[in-house]
Structure 1
């Protein structure tokens, strides 16, 4: 039996509890009680969610042991720092459990406990940059559904917790069980960890029409080289002005933003078409297949071939 403990604190996000259904249906699919779920808090008793719903919890003690610990997130992690007792417990638990996870902003608690130091981690897109700012030793990859770095798992916000739980089921019980669970939960597909949280264009969200026009132009012309001079012309700015304004409005350099658009376009073609990788690289503006692979490893942590295999497996 694999014991999973959910760590809840006042103001926890109700959506974190939805991931428990993944383990429930994994038990049903496997035909055995493989997972046992318990809700815990530092003091025990009733814990109130951000919605106001009360959940009964057990108090953690020095002898409480679980195979997996999952820390639920809260809506305002920067305003609700974890207690010293909770951080000390997590540090002890990390040495005694098989794995430890943070759903959504639960990752802040893991980071505060030092469990994300020098590890890759993800976070809800709205808080990812705060996580990086407060914990510079964490390798934050803000455009991920979930990330597994050794025994530490982190997920993006809300429904990404379901994907994280499903990935745990696949690791524990195999792909067939995970697919069956996803089907029973009417999940459209099991999203891979490297899949994007959101649209690159939405993430850039420039404030002015001139930068938006330059980005629209770039997106329509990804199949050929794009220079700063060319984009600046679309924005009616000098190259130097364009680079400065672009960074101010998007938080990225033009080169990084264009690579993000190329990656998004290439990923969609890989997932939805039968074109060869060479053709996709050419159509999305990469020099060649090797250049595209290097960009995928930087951007998604996966090579294009793996993205295609996962897309086909989950189709």
Structure 2
């Protein structure tokens, strides 16, 4: 660089320092997405020097951290003074209640909170923040996949599962997965400037960061459906939300006759598989109306309807209003937004 020339990616502040608390069987993907965003923002090109960003991996005893897929992160340090970091990110793992709670890690999180260091719960790391008593009367973002677990284990907590992450000041919670890259870019932009965040995202083959309020992908249908044939059929229908799969094909795929498939669906769910499939695609359409900016035509196509009039006719029959009317109501002040978990289906109670 010539003397006096401005850097390509001007920094708007001091370097960003992040401490990672890696819990037992932590989830690798959100960790990798988050730390790689920092790595790429830290230096020119892909040189990976910790210049503008600094990160430290920590475990309770300083041992290597083994992820849920078996890949290990090493070296890790024992817990450092929380004041060394701008943020402490805790990354949880598989939610197995047989696993011992890492009381040392929870104590460290409480120490960091007392030192007023912002805490980030990434993926199931939010469970650790709750266990440490640090999420009382706080909004709490969780993946739709772990929503049921959180409600069951922590009934006093009201989880939010219709967005990617929530910045609540000194508590930030993130659904995990690819949303970890969005959150990391959000923090990089806050501390170093938009250019550095965009540099990271572009090298990671991401166009731009999604905002925290961006909707999570729609939840799949699941519930207490014990009939294996019906469960397999529903799994196939979930994979074909964008098309109207014929009942003959569905029956063949699950290894039964159409007649038996019809009978089993009516016994378990009270409706035939064809109506269930159409209702499922319509419910998906409702979710897309509320949580995406897609046009009515795009939504109809994505839900497997031949054309917009066909989609709108079935939509009105099911919900008593047109798709555009429902979207308008939802956008009005005080308008009710659909519960993202209304897609879930459970079997009929036994008589």
TM-score range, shorter chain: 0.5 to 0.7
Q: Secondary structure at the match of 2:186?
A: helix
Flag the 1:271–1:116 CA change in 2: closer, same or farther, 3 A.
Answer: farther
Does structure 2 retain, via aligned residues, the 8 Å contact 1:105–1:123?
Answer: yes
Counterpart of 1:286 (choices 308, 317, 325) is: 325
| Structure 1 residue 20 corresponds to structure 2 residue 35 | yes
- SS state of the match for residue 170, structure 1? helix
2:258 is aligned to none
- Structure 1 position 2 matched with structure 2 position 16: yes
Aligned equivalents of 2:202, 2:104: Cα separation in 1: 40
Give the Cα separation in 2 of the matches to 1:146 and 1:118: 17
Aligned to 2:63: 45
* Cα deviation code 1:234-293 (max 9, x no counterpart): xxxxxxxx9x969xxxxxxxxxx988743422544458999xxxxxxx862436745424
Q: Which residue is equivalent to 2:153?
A: 134
Q: Is the 8 A contact 1:46 1:57 kept in 2?
A: yes
CA offset at residue 160 of structure 1? 2.0
Give 5+ residue unaligned stretches, structure 1: 221-241, 247-256, 275-281, 300-315
- Greater relative CO, 1 or 2 (CA 8 Å, sep 6+): 2
Gaps of 5+ in 2: 1-14, 245-265, 271-280, 299-320, 341-351
Partner of 2:93: 74
Q: What is the CA distance between 1:13 and its match in structure 2? A: 2.2
SS at match of 2:19: strand
Q: Secondary structure at the match of 1:11?
A: coil
1:204/1:85 CA distance change after superposition, 3 Å: closer
Supply the distance in 2 between the matched residues of 1:39 and 1:176 (Cα, whole angstroms). Answer: 26
Q: Aligned equivalents of 1:190 and 1:184: distance in 2?
A: 13
**2:182 is equivalent to residue 163 of structure 1:** yes
Cα separation, 1, equivalents of 2:297 and 2:169: 33
Whole-Å Cα distance in 1 between the matches of residues 89 and 134 of structure 2? 13
Q: 1:230 maps to which residue? A: none
Q: Give the secondary structure class of the aligned counterpart of 1:107.
A: helix
Distance 1:261 1:143 in 2: 15
Work out whether residues 286 and 292 of structure 1, in 8 Å CA contact, stay in contact via their aligned partners in 2. no
TM-score (norm 2): 0.61
2:218 to 190, 199, 215: 199
Equivalent-residue separation in structure 1 for 2:138 and 2:172 (angstroms): 10
Alpha-carbon distance in 1 for matches of 2:295, 2:110: 39
Matches for 1:112-123 after TM superposition, within 5 Å? 112-123=131-142
Q: How far does the alpha carbon of each residue in 1:99-156 deviate from its partner, in whole angstroms, 9 at most, with x for none? A: 2111111111011011222211222332221112222232201232222222211112
Moved more, 103-112 or 168-177: 168-177
Return the offset for 1:40: 0.8
TM-score in terms of structure 1 length: 0.67
Count of residues in Structure 1 that have an aligned counterpart in Structure 2 = 265
RMSD between superposed Cα atoms in Å:
4.3
The CA deviation at 1:18 is 3.3
Quote the residue 1:11 is aligned against: 25
1:26-79 per-residue CA deviation (whole Å, 9 max, x = no partner) reads 223699933210111111132322314242111115676421000112123533
Q: Give the conservation status (yes or no) of the 8 Å contact 1:68–1:97.
A: no
